[in-house]
């Protein structure tokens, strides 16, 4: 393929970057529309319905925000790990373990005053999530294991363990044989603020804290340097193993907090499927936000709109919710594809014997 030359971009100004990103979004919408037409659907009506289903009424807006909360906090946790180029694919398991720890506190200390109980549940969830992330972190730091496979496999360990508890030792004796954990006492339920559970306040607070951590603290700077180059970090005298472990404790702790929020505010008990795929979706949103905490908040809101809009399509228009997934996947394909053109320049060479090249992007 001598006719195709791909080179690294040396510099790209803000205007060019904006043009590439805008073009990617426009093309993703056009391509999504064409796919919907092939399926025999009206793309304009589908897009309108997604927006209407996610923002059309106060209740739908609330549901969109409720879906954005766990996605945002999980993505912030993933962001911290990915900034260090530690590929934490274990968000699902860390969420589940956080929910497990929160459930243990809720079911055994339900007589405590509500503020104290909720704080203890959140603390236990963050410790459990952090511990679940600490295990692959320490193996990576000490033995150089592959964190992608390690964290991925730990997802299934966590989910199966909670399934065992749900069907066994923790099964509610008052559920007439139905495999469920006892519901949380009222003291263990997150309060509502402006019609939405208080998790949205935690999401905003976490966004601010992670932005400050990554932009204005020594630890954030060290995490970034380790991600860019181990050799540079080592030359600067940084304790790489310590940074890996601390960053993963933060990453897992945030995912664990999501487990507490979902168990307390949404399920009001512990279920094996409590993570609802947020651990995997958060990987996408963190990348789309280019590992920026503030951008992550808005990207997660956009994805929550697609999730909520897809549910509305299925109920109101008798259209499979997978249609929204098609739109989501197409947008993702083009936006992630734009990242390639932000980093690289593609040139098509002329015919043999000619020296001219045509730049594609």
What's residue 355's pLDDT? 47
Task: Specify if 180 maps to a domain.
Answer: yes
List the pLDDT tens digit at each of the 361 positions of the chain: 566 777 777 677 777 777 887 888 888 888 988 888 888 888 888 888 888 889 989 999 999 999 999 999 999 999 999 999 899 999 999 999 999 999 999 999 989 999 999 999 999 999 999 999 999 999 998 898 999 999 999 999 999 999 999 999 999 988 887 889 999 999 999 999 999 999 999 999 999 999 999 999 999 999 999 998 889 999 989 999 999 999 999 999 999 999 999 999 999 999 999 998 899 999 989 988 889 999 999 999 998 998 888 888 877 777 776 777 777 788 778 877 877 777 777 777 655 555 455 555 5
Task: Specify if 128 maps to a domain.
Answer: yes
Alpha helices in 144-239 (DSSP H): 147-167, 199-216, 218-228, 230-235
Q: Into how many domains does the chain fold?
A: 1
Task: Specify if 57 maps to a domain.
Answer: no
Task: Specify if 47 maps to a domain.
Answer: no
DSSP state of 183: P
DSSP string covering 35-95: HHHHTT--HHHHHHHHHHHHHSSHHHHHHHHHHHHHHHHHHHHHHHHHHTT-----HHHHH
| Residues of the domain holding 159 | 69-305
Task: Specify if 41 maps to a domain.
Answer: no
Task: Specify if 59 maps to a domain.
Answer: no
Task: Specify if 319 maps to a domain.
Answer: no
CA-wise closest residue to 74 among 273, 237, 224, 207: 207
What's residue 203's pLDDT? 97
Task: Specify if 40 maps to a domain.
Answer: no
């Amino acid at each position: 393929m001598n006719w195709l030359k791909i080179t690294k971009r040396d510099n790209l100004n803000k205007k060019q970057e904006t043009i590439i990103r805008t073009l990617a979004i426009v093309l993703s919408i056009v391509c999504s529309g064409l796919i919907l037409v092939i399926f025999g659907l009206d793309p304009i009506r589908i897009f309108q319905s997604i927006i209407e289903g996610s923002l059309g009424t106060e209740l739908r807006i609330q549901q969109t925000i409720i879906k954005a909360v766990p996605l945002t906090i999980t993505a912030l946790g993933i962001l911290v790990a990915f900034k260090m180029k530690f590929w934490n694919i274990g968000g699902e398991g860390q969420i589940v373990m956080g929910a497990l720890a929160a459930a243990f506190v809720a079911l055994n200390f339900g007589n405590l005053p509500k503020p104290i109980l909720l704080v203890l549940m959140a603390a236990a969830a963050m410790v459990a999530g952090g511990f679940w992330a600490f295990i692959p972190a320490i193996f990576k730091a000490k033995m150089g294991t592959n964190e992608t496979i390690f964290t991925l496999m730990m997802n299934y360990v966590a989910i199966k363990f909670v399934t065992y508890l749900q069907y066994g030792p923790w099964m509610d004796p008052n559920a007439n044989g139905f495999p469920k954990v006892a519901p949380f006492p009222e003291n263990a339920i997150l309060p509502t603020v402006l019609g939405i559970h208080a998790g949205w306040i935690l999401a905003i607070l976490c966004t601010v804290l992670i932005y400050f951590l990554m932009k204005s603290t020594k630890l954030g700077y060290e995490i970034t340097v380790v991600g860019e180059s181990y050799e540079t970090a080592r030359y600067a005298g940084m304790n790489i193993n310590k940074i890996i472990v601390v960053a993963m404790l933060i990453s897992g702790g945030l995912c664990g907090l999501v487990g507490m929020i979902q168990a307390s505010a949404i399920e009001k008990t512990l279920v094996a499927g409590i993570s609802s795929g947020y651990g995997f979706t958060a990987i996408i949103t963190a990348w789309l936000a280019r590992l920026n905490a503030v951008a992550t908040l808005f990207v997660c809101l956009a994805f929550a709109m697609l999730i909520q809009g897809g549910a509305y399509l299925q109920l109101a228009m008798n259209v499979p919710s997978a249609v929204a997934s098609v739109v989501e996947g197409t947008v993702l394909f083009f936006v992630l594809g734009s990242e390639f053109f932000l980093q690289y320049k593609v040139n098509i060479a002329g015919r043999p014997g000619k020296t001219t090249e045509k730049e594609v992007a």
